[in-house]
């Protein structure tokens, strides 16, 4: 069992955001889901949880969370964004193009590459996106 030093309220206070029911529910959902979620999924969860919320509000909340570095914003070549809780480790995703399964992968050793880029190209890397698309183990059978 891990020691939880922060709850959602603290998390929000840390970035000067008020702890509203909608925000708490969104954090709950993002934490519960073990994959990056899109806005439709978020909305349908909120509706099912009897939280009546407008999509505009959801986008505004996600924007605040993103800017406060509480969540990450990802693109899986779908023409829309997905969001996931910011974790301490730098991980990426394996996206199965057949069933849509999303696996995590860590330790891609990309920091080395970033340093090299900085040295060779004088480009200061702030963040990167790295996703793999293919066929998962189950779909290969």
Least distance from DNA to the Cβ atom of residue 20, Å: 3
Binding of residue 99 to its own copies (CB under 8 A): no
Distance CA 24, CA 12 (A): 9
With CB under 7 A as the contact rule, the residue among 7, 10, 14, 20 that binds DNA is 20
Binding of residue 134 to DNA (CB under 7 A): no
Do the strands 92-96 and 81-85 form a parallel or antiparallel pair, or are they unpaired? Answer: unpaired
Binding of residue 18 to its own copies (CB under 8 A): no
Q: 82 exposed, middle or buried (CB, 10 Å; 0-12, 13-18, 19+)?
A: buried
Q: Of 13-21, 27-35, 42-50, 113-121, which segment contacts its own copies by CB under 8 A?
A: 113-121
């Amino acid at each position: 069992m891990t020691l939880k030093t922060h709850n959602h309220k603290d998390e929000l206070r840390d970035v000067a955001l008020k702890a509203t029911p909608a925000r708490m529910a969104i954090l709950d959902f993002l934490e519960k889901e073990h994959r990056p979620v899109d806005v439709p999924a978020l909305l349908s969860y909120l509706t099912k949880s009897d939280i009546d919320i407008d999509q505009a509000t959801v986008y505004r909340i996600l924007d605040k969370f993103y800017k406060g570095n509480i969540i990450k914003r990802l693109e899986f070549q779908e023409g829309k964004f997905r969001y996931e809780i910011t974790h301490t480790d730098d991980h990426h995703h394996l996206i199965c193009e057949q069933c849509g399964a999303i696996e995590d992968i860590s330790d891609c050793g990309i920091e080395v590459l970033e340093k090299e880029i900085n040295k060779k190209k004088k480009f200061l890397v702030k963040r990167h996106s790295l996703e793999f698309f293919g066929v998962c183990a189950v779909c290969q059978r």
